[in-house]
Structure formats: C-alpha cells, structure tokens
Structure 1
Amino acid sequence: MAISTSTIGSQILNQNILKTNQDYFNTLQYRLATGTKFLDLKNYGTDSARIVDLRQEIESRASYSRAIDLADLITKSYDTAIDAMGNTMQELINAADPLSTQDTNWPNDNAVIADNLLLELQTNLNLEIGGRFIFAASNYTAQPVVEMRNLSVYTTTDIGVANTIETANTVPQHVVDSGGAATTESYHTSFAGANTIDENAWETLNVTIADNQTIDYGISATHTAFQNAIEAVLRFKSATQTGLTEAQRRSFLTEARAAADTARTQLRQLQSENGVAMDQFQNAKDLHQAFNNVSQIALDDLTGADTATAATEMSALQAQMQASFATISRQASLSLVNFL
C-alpha cells in the first residue's frame, strides 16, 4: 500500500509540473505570436506603471498627430486656393489695362472674362474637404459663397464711391446704384439683408497640437482680401456694360485694378500667415513622432519578447512535456496494478 501511495503522490507532482510547463508553453506561444512578453499587465511587476505611462503618452501624441494631419490638409488646401486667387487677381489686372475699349466686341468678350474670374473665386471659396467647406468658418456644412455671376453690376452713380469693407461680425455687403435705388447685395450665403450679423461666418478654426497648446488657423470667406478681390471683379464687370462713355468705362477699370492690386497684396499676406501655421503643424508633428519613436523603443525594451529564444524554449519544452506525459501514463498504469 505504501508503494501505491508513493506512486500516486509522484503522479500528482508530475501532473503539477506538467501544468506549470503547459502554462509557460502558452506564454511562449503568446510571445512568439505577439512579440511581447505577457498578456496581463500585472505580470510585469514594478514596470507596470511605467508601461502604462508610456502607452498613454504614445496614444496621446498619436491622437494629436491625427488632429494635426487634418488641420495640415486644410491649411495646404488654403495655400493652393489662395495662390489660385492671387493668380486670378493678376489676370484681372492684365485684362483691366487694355490698349483700347473701343472695339465693339470688347464689352461682350470681357463680360465673359469677368464671369470666368468670378467663377474662379467662387470655386475656390466654396472648396470642400472631407464634407467641410473650409472657408465657411463655423457654418462649414454650407457653401459660404453664392453664385456670384448673378450679382448686379455697379451703375455710373457708383463710380468714385468706395465700397465699405466689413469687419467682424458683419457679413460682407456692397451697395449697387448708391446714387439711386441703393440696393444692398452680398456674395456671402449668410447675408439676410443690410448689415447682417453672423459671428459664425467670421469664426476661425483651431486645433490642439499638444498639451495646453492650441493654434488658430482657419480662414473665412469674409476676410478682407476676398472682399477686395470680389469687389475688383465686380468693378471690372461693370466696365463691360453697354451705354457707358469711354471715360466711365475707364473709371471702372481703374477702380478694378486698384481693388485687385490691394487684394493681391492682402492675399500674399494671408498666404504668409497660413504658411506660419503650416510650419507650426509640421514642427509639432515632428516632435510628436520623435518622442513616440524614443518611447516605443523604451516600451519595447520593457515588453518586447525575444521571439527566437521563445521558439527555442518552446521546442525544448514541448519535448519535455511529451516525456512528462509518457511518465504520467506509466505511473497511472503502475498505480492501477498496485491497487489490484
């Protein structure tokens, strides 16, 4: 009977050893499959808190980088659109300085040019990125600019009457036939009548690029540069209407060139300011990436498993476990014989 008890005790011991080996075998399988040491954080002991901190910091900076990517895409789109509108102003300046306007085809030909210029501005200001009209400020679900080719041309009573440039939070507007009907119009979709106030049409975008660091970067269609650009084209288009004297036509063209030159300067300044934001985004993204690279190395040092070693240990352990199974099987047979 003593032999039987000893055999059963030995069998239980071997079974416990086998279970321990099986658990470690599972751990080795996990290391080989994932490249990390343990599934449960508690198994890392005193390194657990450091691992949590590193993971949280890496995810936080990755989140900032994703936000920066979206903002960077928008600012790059601003840059392209503003550049195109600057070219539009140059086209207008060239067209508004003709050798002569006496050609009978000049009004019709240049009316077409004016409409094309308005369409270029309209297309750029209604630029949409990812379901967001980027020049619409907080009203980003709707186009900020109307069909500008339908705006009225100025009358001769408007010659020499400068358009008032609106500032926040008044929606841009201009008065047609100031010496007569004095009709107020606007290129902006928020316009609901003279002196419309819409704070959302002026609000800029912003993005948090790091802890306690936010950058304003949005550009609205209400910006002074765009008001002058559209004013320039409307003055140019007004010069193409019939019934004008040569002096009146020349006056409209002079005013168009002046407004276009102002707009072109303002667009360059706006592009420069936007470029500063682009540089800030890139610098912040580079810092996040550099930090995450270093942090990931530190995290890998703490959690990373040597897969080659794990594979070697698995092979040896597998052979050991097979031998244990055989031993337990023999012990089970001996135990049964001893009891008989």
Structure 2
Amino acid sequence: MIAMLSVSTYASQLTTLANIQRNQSDFDRLSRQVATGVKSDDLSDFSAVDAQRLLNGDKEVQRLEAYNKGIDIVTPRLKLYSQQVERMDTLAKTVASALSGVDSYSGATQVQLGTLIDNTLRDLNALLNDRVDGRYLWAGGNYASQPVGDLTALPDLAAPAAFTPVADPALPDYYAAAPGSDANAWVEAGFSPEAGKSVEYGQVASAPAIQELINALRLVKSGLNAAAAAGSTAAAETAFAGFRTEALSQLTEARSGIKQMSSEIAMDLASITDSAKANKAAINLFVDEQGKIVNVDTAEAGVKLSQVKTQLEATYKITASLSQTSLVNYI
C-alpha cells in the first residue's frame, strides 16, 4: 500500500512539474510580448517563410537608410551652393548697377569703382574657397586643395576683348594651380540617392559663368587702370568707355549663366528631396510588413498572461498539497 502510494504521488508530481515548466515558459513569453509588443526577438520562433521575410526586410531597410544618409550629407551642401550662387548674382548685379551709373571717368570713379571691384573679388575668393567638413566645395575632384588664388592679384587685361571660356581640362588663370590643365578640377561630385538614380550635384570654380564674372570684374579694373595711365582726359575717357561697355555685356551674360546654375541646383535639391521621401515611404512599407509578422496585440497577450498566471498559481497549490501527502492522510 505504501509503495503504491509513493508511485502514485511521484507520477502526479512529475505531471505537475511538467505543467509548471510549460506554464512558466508561457508566462515568460507572454510577459515579454506585453512589455515589447512583439512576438519574439528570436528568428527561430517564426516559420521559415516568415523568418526569411524578416531578414529580407531588414536588408532592404538598411539599403534605403544608407541612401537617405547620403542625402542627409548632400542636402546641406546643395543648400550652401544655392546661397553662394545667389550671393554671386548679387555681387554681379551690384557691380553692373554701379558701372551703369558711371557715364565718364574721373578720379572719384577710380577710387569708388576700384574699391568696389577689389571688395567684390575678395568676396568671390571667399565663396569659391569655402569649405564644409574639410572639403573645398568648388574644387571639383581636388576637394582637399584650395582651388582659387588671389583674384585681386590677377594682371590687367590688355584690351576689352570678347570673352571665351576655357574648357575641361584647362585651368582658368585664376586657379591656384594655373597655368596648366587638370581634369579633376572639372569633376562634379555625384551620388546615388535611390536605386537606379544618380545626381551630379557638385559645382566647380571653373564653371563658364564664374569665369565670365571674374573676367568682367577684371575688365572694369583694367579699364580704370588704363584710364589712369592715359596721357589725356580724352584718352582716359576712350580707354575706360571701351572696357566699361564690354564689362557690362559680360556681367549680363555671367548673371544669366549664374541664374542657370541656381536653377540646376534647385532641381537637384528637389530631386534628392523626392528620393528621400520615396525611400522613407518604402522603409515604412517594409516596417509595416515586418510588423504584421512580429507585432502582437498586447491587450490579448495581457489576457492570456493573466490566465497563465492563474494556472501557475493553481499548479503551485497542487504541488504544495502533494508535497504534504503522507500515509497518515489515508488512514
């Protein structure tokens, strides 16, 4: 009788222990689900198909986020380009306005226009040699080197000739590395903001519009110096007038080219902004799809957790009663 009672009690204890372990496992799992809102952070808890979908989704999200990180880097550069090009246009407009208001050459003209031109050239120097994150923005592929030399130190032009820009790979004479040629100076930075799309957003100090703007400013300065060196008032007037007329024409052309640069920068900025939105929308789709696989209804999980807790408490009570079982209880 005692042996039979021992075997019966031992079997009940094993069954109860198994129930406790199962309920404890369910309790732990449901507790995590209620706390995190996800079924599991272990892929082995999902079916093979769902696990592969989760892995593929993670890869796509990482790829799209990498595109948007690139956009985050390029966007401030484009905005700075936009501000700088707008500043160049303002400088050109200011000089053109001042030059248009001068009908004849005089000592006062020499001082006022001369000061304006030198200050404008210094402003251009600062713009074209600007750096962001250690990169010279207008240096093309040579972003570690300052592209433009001292514009105020450029020699006078011999005559008010029509402007012809130099082309890749030749360097304009105002480059720090001039004379010579360097294809890297013409390389416009580019990147891919999304799959199958590339954007060349970089600007270079050798752009034809910038070449013409600098040449126009040199024409004004050269005309002033030629007039100052003339032997008579009439000769001074003639010398200045020729340079003035050509400078005004080139300032107009330069401003047209600068406005075109501004338009292209704006289009690049709009393009990568659209790409960022498209990437974000795709990321959200992948995240939503993953959510359908991993997310749980925390309210439902909470109800199940309460049920399992009740079962555990009941099982512990049974275990306690079994542990107190003795032959005396059956006499």
For normalisation by structure 1, the TM-score amounts to 0.85
Cα distance in 2, alignment partners of residues 110 and 54 from structure 1: 64
Partner of 2:138: 135
Change (3 A) 1:160 1:116: closer
One-letter identity of the residue aligned with 1:199: A
Task: Indicate yes or no: 2:319 matched with 1:328.
Answer: yes
Deviation at 1:257, TM superposition (A): 1.4
Instruction: Name the CA distance, whole Å, in 2 between partners of 1:119 and 1:273.
Output: 26
1:190 aligns with 2:177: yes
Compute the displacement of 1:163 (Å).
5.3
Q: What's 2:309 paired with?
A: 318
2:233 match: none
Whole-angstrom distance in 2 between the partners of 1:322 and 1:147: 85
Partners in 2 of 1:278 and 1:337 — Cα distance? 89
Q: Which moved more, 1:94-103 or 1:246-255?
A: 94-103
1:231 and 2:219 aligned: no
Q: Which residue of 2 aligns with 1:214?
A: 198
Secondary structure of the structure 1 residue equivalent to 2:203: coil
Pair 1:10–1:117, CA change in 2 (3 A): same
2:280 is aligned, of 286, 289, 295, to 289
CA displacement, residues 294-335 of structure 1 (integer Å, 9 cap, x when unaligned): 222222111112122223333332333233233323323437
The answer for unaligned runs of 5 or more in structure 1 is 174-185
Q: Structure 1 residue 97: deviation in Å?
A: 1.9
Shift of 1:337: 8.9
**Are 1:206 and 1:217, in contact at CA under 8 Å, matched by a contact in 2?**
yes
- Contact 1:190–1:201 (Cα < 8 Å) also in 2: no
- Counterpart of 2:51? 48
Report the secondary structure of 2:46's partner residue: helix
Identity of aligned residues (%): 24
For 2:23 and 2:181, locate their aligned partners in 1 and report how far apart those are by CA, in whole Å: 75
Q: CA deviation at 1:138?
A: 1.6
1:78-157 correspondence to structure 2 within 5 Å: 78-149=81-152, 151-154=153-156
Question: Does the 8 Å CA contact 1:236/1:256 hold for their aligned counterparts?
Answer: yes
Is residue 8–residue 335 contact of structure 1 (8 Å, CA) maintained in 2? no
SS of the residue 1:105 aligns to: helix
CA contact (8 A) 1:35 1:305 kept: yes
Inter-partner Cα distance in structure 2 for 1:30 and 1:199: 60
The one-letter amino acid paired with 2:130 is L
| SS of match in other structure, 2:192 | strand
Dislocated runs of 4+, deviation >6 Å = 335-338
User: Hey, what does 1:180 align to over in structure 2?
Assistant: none
Return the offset for 1:203.
0.7
**1:154-213 CA-partner distances (Å, limit 9, x unpaired):** 15xx1134454211111111xxxxxxxxxxxx2x2333xx3x121221111111122232
Cα-Cα RMSD:
2.3
TM-score (norm 2): 0.87
SS at match of 1:197: coil
In the alignment, which of 218, 243, 267 is matched to residue 229 of structure 2? Answer: 243
Please name the residue that 1:59 is paired with.
Answer: 62
- For structure 2, which runs of at least 5 residues remain unmatched after alignment? 231-235
Q: CA shift at 1:336, angstroms?
A: 11
CA distance in 2, matches of 1:223, 1:293: 40
> Quick one: which amino acid aligns to residue 33 of structure 1?
A
Q: Deviation per CA, 1:106-142: give whole Å up to 9, x if none.
A: 2122222112211222222223333322222122233
Shift of 1:217: 1.9
Higher helix share: 2
Deviation for aligned residue 1:36: 1.3
Helix, strand or coil: the match of 1:37?
A: coil
Q: Report the CA distance between 1:61 and its aligned residue.
A: 1.5
Give the number of aligned pairs: 319
